[in-house]
Structure 1
Amino acid sequence: MGMKAYGSGYAAEPIQSISLDDAGADQAASQAPVSPEQLRRAILTGGVGSALEYYDFAIFGLATALVFRHIFFPTLGANAGLLASFGTYGAGFLARPFGGLFFGSLGDRKGRKFVLLLTIAIMGVSTMLVGLLPSGPVGAVVLVALRLVQGFGAGAEQAGASTLMAEVSPVPRRGFFAALPFVGIFAGFGLATATFSVMQHTLGNDEILAWAWRLPFLASVVLIGVAVWIRLRLRESPVFLNLEGAREVVRSPMKTVMTTARRPVLAAVLMRFAEQGGSTIYTTIVIAFLGGTVATRMGVRSSDLATIGTTGALIATLASAITTPMFGALSDRIGRITVYRAGAIFMLLWSLPSWWMVSTGNPLWIAVAMFGGLAIGANSMLGAQCAHFAELFGNRCRYSGVALAREIGAVLSGGLAPVLGIYLVGLAGGAFWVMGVYTAVLATLTLIGVALSTETRGRDLTDLNDAIH
């Protein structure tokens, strides 16, 4: 099976700047298929949507690591309760491919804007309702249901944001602009992490377990309102409008993906393993490992080490808001594949040393481990991925292809990572090297995906054919 990349003549053009001041944005937008105002609005709507999605998932992940086993699974032991909590967390990832199938197909048939409005409302409402749940078994059952709904809505959110942004970006700087909405990921994660960090520093553990854990979930209603208001003012992607005007919209875009785009889907799924899996590992699992295994071994309070982990996650997340678009811009200069491969190799080499750092319980080493794993390793790949995945698929099935690949990769890496990681650590008696090896395996699988893919920088996104044959 051969590979072919389609270009539009922009691939070799130099990138003059990665800043987004008004002059730079206006100059870039003059080369884009939309006005400067619409380009900024697309960046904003993607960023706010990503912020809400990751705020939702981050507060759920942090609550899973810190409080859910006490609230919903109090009769189980410490390790079993943690496994049950992370099983609930993983349920959201299980639902994401189905959401990707449904909303991705809808986005290719009805347009990007309609789906982005629908998914943001579904995610936000389900998150808010978690804050109203009763404790105990009944609450646990409803929690799983809400998590499934949340995951279903999130299944096409990032795929839609990245697809729309890639389609409205100026071609020479598509990698940079396509990565900008994903700064919202770190804004959302940073907001969630900061909220829990403030609670840990100002409230006692009893107060958090009694009522305060509900506040971050209830507060998501504010983000819902802002996101819906912004997206109502967004215009449809001109690439989709051209497709619609030419009567090239297909009735079953997901069927088209499954029959004609299997190789780009497989490549993109594997390329998500180290990125999504690494992101989950260096935030959620690290905090759970510190509060459980490391705290027990060192004979200190679980909440003390969990707080150190939360602070480390916050530092790494804030740094990622800078590094991700920087790596996107770098992919404009040297290519998507080069940046992605380098990120996966870094993750492979970082895996065992970083988990040794975490196992020491030293706050400085923990911060360094999480910074390297998230801000450099996982998000160097994310920076290149934002444009690359959209460039892999033809115009008729782009939203469907990106959504399907992203969400299958998410459930296999981000969804299974916490449950499998905690289980393996338990089997090995808390040995740090288990998670190091597990992280290295994810990085190796991503390198295989990179080998299956092809360079797409500068590709014409009006092309109806996939970039890989």
Structure 2
Amino acid sequence: MTRSTTAPPRPARRDLVKAFAASLSGTSLEWYDFAAYSAASALVFGHLFFPSHDPLSGTLLAFSTYAVGYVSRPLGGFVFGRLGDVLGRKQVLVTTLLLTGISTALIGLLPTHSQVGALGAVLLVLLRFAQGVGIGGEWGGAVLLSSEFGSRRRRGFWASAAQVGPPAGNLLANGVLAGLAAVLPEQQFLSWGWRVAFLLSAVLVVFGLWIRVRLEETPVFRELQAKGEQAGAPLREVFTREPRALVAAILSRVGPDVLYALFTVFVLTYATQELGMPKSWAVAGVMLGSALQVGLIPAAGALSDRLGRRAVYAVGAIGAGAWPFVFFPLVGGGSAALLVVGIVIGLVWHSLMYGPQAAFVAEQFSPALRYTGCSLAYTLAGIIGGALAPLLFTSLFAHFGSWLAPACYLGGTCVVTLVGLALGRSR
């Protein structure tokens, strides 16, 4: 029997490396924006765009624009996920990178309330909405860009490129902000220094575009085109033909998102307000853990190629669900060293889930529906997981006055993730 002429040739290793870099650059931009916007909302946006006699009210209004970025992500998942399955991965990913990057850079050029009144706040919200739309279409395509170039036997490793974005983006954003705060007087930082952090995102956009426009379409999509097997209505087909895959992918993502919120967001408040420790120690733990994750996440993805996605993912979920019941008593004595160690171990459990996650989610869907399915799973899980987790952690702790409630909440979401793994299919 002769080989089919429509089968794509095996990609050269340089194409695999370029696909890995293209995927990593996009998600790094996303999480660079995430970290920079979070800090700016707490430090400067309330004063500059939502002035009020009550500083807390201004800060809360600033954080409301932060939430807009989560609310708009499903729209990006619906729009760009569909286009990615109809037009191709590469073309859509160039668009999402431009949309996210330009919106982020424009925030650094916005006039403030003192210059244009309420118009500044309106523009900030619109740009944040545009960021969310672009980000909603970025993750699914970034996963496919690297995984569909890589071999099936090493898909866990190649797909993990998109997962390295969060720690890389956090490290980059915090490094830039820390550097600006160190070299600029406070008045200059509030006046113009904060803008530099947003304008620098243009560097990542240029680098990402340079790689993506030079990269060919993925072999999987080229084969779909050659056979004429692209989905005609991918949104409808995901919900009607592959609902179990969508549910499994969404549930599998909830636990990791909630765990990440605990050990990168809530822990900062807990360490300072409950333990009375300097915030710098908690930040040091997050930074050290993020630095380790840059290597641990691809390692966990590669391990899932050998042991199976669900096995590695499940070990991480079980460890993540149990760790808060060790972590909170461990740091209760106020030891800074134990706080740092506890945060790092928490992010190690996260790496064991996050490394195989991209490949696991992509493998739930048929090739013709992968971009749509991955995008919907990412954005919908982000709302019920990462978007609500910091608020729920804070509310539960305030209501019950004990770490047990937040720990049980995280444990419950890890059980949800295990259910998603059980519902999902193996590669």
Do Structure 1 and Structure 2 share a fold, with TM-score over 0.5?
yes
User: 1:203, CA displacement in angstroms?
Assistant: 4.5
Whether 1:367 aligns to 2:353 is: no
Aligned-pair identity (%): 36
Q: Would you say the 8 A contact 1:274–1:378 is kept in 2?
A: no
The residue number in structure 2 matching 1:114 is 91
Whether 1:87 aligns to 2:64 is: yes
Whether 1:281 aligns to 2:262 is: yes
Whether 1:407 aligns to 2:379 is: yes
81-90 or 71-80: bigger deviation: 71-80
CA distance change for structure 1 residues 181 and 272 in 2, over 3 Å: closer, same or farther?
A: closer
One-letter amino acid of the structure 1 residue matched with residue 158 of structure 2: F
40-49 or 71-80: bigger deviation: 71-80
The alignment partner of 2:232 has SS state of: coil
One-letter amino acid of the structure 1 residue matched with residue 285 of structure 2: G
CA distance change for structure 1 residues 128 and 248 in 2, over 3 Å: closer, same or farther?
A: same
Cα RMSD, aligned residues only: 2.4
The residue number in structure 2 matching 1:36 is 13
The residue number in structure 1 matching 2:24 is 47
The residue number in structure 2 matching 1:234 is 215
435-444 or 46-55: bigger deviation: 435-444
One-letter amino acid of the structure 2 residue matched with residue 388 of structure 1: F
One-letter amino acid of the structure 2 residue matched with residue 451 of structure 1: A
The residue number in structure 1 matching 2:235 is 254
Task: Give the alignment's TM-score, normalised by structure 2.
Answer: 0.90
CA distance change for structure 1 residues 76 and 308 in 2, over 3 Å: closer, same or farther?
A: farther
Report the Cα distance in structure 2 between the residues aligned to 1:203 and 1:355, rounded to whole angstroms.
36
One-letter amino acid of the structure 1 residue matched with residue 258 of structure 2: G
User: 1:200, CA displacement in angstroms?
Assistant: 4.3
User: 1:306, CA displacement in angstroms?
Assistant: 3.2
The alignment partner of 2:388 has SS state of: helix
The alignment partner of 1:273 has SS state of: helix
Q: Would you say the 8 A contact 2:139–2:162 is kept in 1?
A: no
Query: For 1:70-469, what aligned pairs fall within 5 Å after superposition?
Result: 70-75=47-52, 83-136=60-113, 138-203=119-184, 205-290=186-271, 293-294=273-274, 298=276, 305-356=278-329, 362-374=335-347, 376-428=348-400, 431-456=402-427
Report the Cα distance in structure 2 between the residues aligned to 1:64 and 1:32, rounded to whole angstroms.
48
User: 1:101, CA displacement in angstroms?
Assistant: 0.8
User: 1:227, CA displacement in angstroms?
Assistant: 1.0
User: 1:359, CA displacement in angstroms?
Assistant: 6.1
User: 1:165, CA displacement in angstroms?
Assistant: 1.7
**Count of residues paired in the alignment:** 416
CA distance change for structure 1 residues 350 and 259 in 2, over 3 Å: closer, same or farther?
A: same
CA distance change for structure 1 residues 437 and 451 in 2, over 3 Å: closer, same or farther?
A: same
Q: Would you say the 8 A contact 1:61–1:284 is kept in 2?
A: no
Report the Cα distance in structure 1 between the residues aligned to 2:328 and 2:254, rounded to whole angstroms.
18
One-letter amino acid of the structure 2 residue matched with residue 378 of structure 1: H
Report the Cα distance in structure 1 between the residues aligned to 2:53 and 2:416, rounded to whole angstroms.
35
The residue number in structure 2 matching 1:4 is none
Runs (5+) with no aligned partner, structure 2:
1-7
CA distance change for structure 1 residues 187 and 68 in 2, over 3 Å: closer, same or farther?
A: same
The residue number in structure 1 matching 2:33 is 56
Q: Would you say the 8 A contact 1:197–1:307 is kept in 2?
A: no
One-letter amino acid of the structure 2 residue matched with residue 386 of structure 1: A
Report the Cα distance in structure 2 between the residues aligned to 1:42 and 1:227, rounded to whole angstroms.
10
Task: Give the alignment's TM-score, normalised by structure 1.
Answer: 0.82
Q: Would you say the 8 A contact 1:197–1:310 is kept in 2?
A: no
Deviation digits for residues 109-145 of structure 1, max 9, x if unmatched? Answer: 0000001100000001111122223445544433222
Deviation digits for residues 229-250 of structure 1, max 9, x if unmatched? Answer: 1111010011111111111112
Q: Would you say the 8 A contact 1:90–1:411 is kept in 2?
A: no
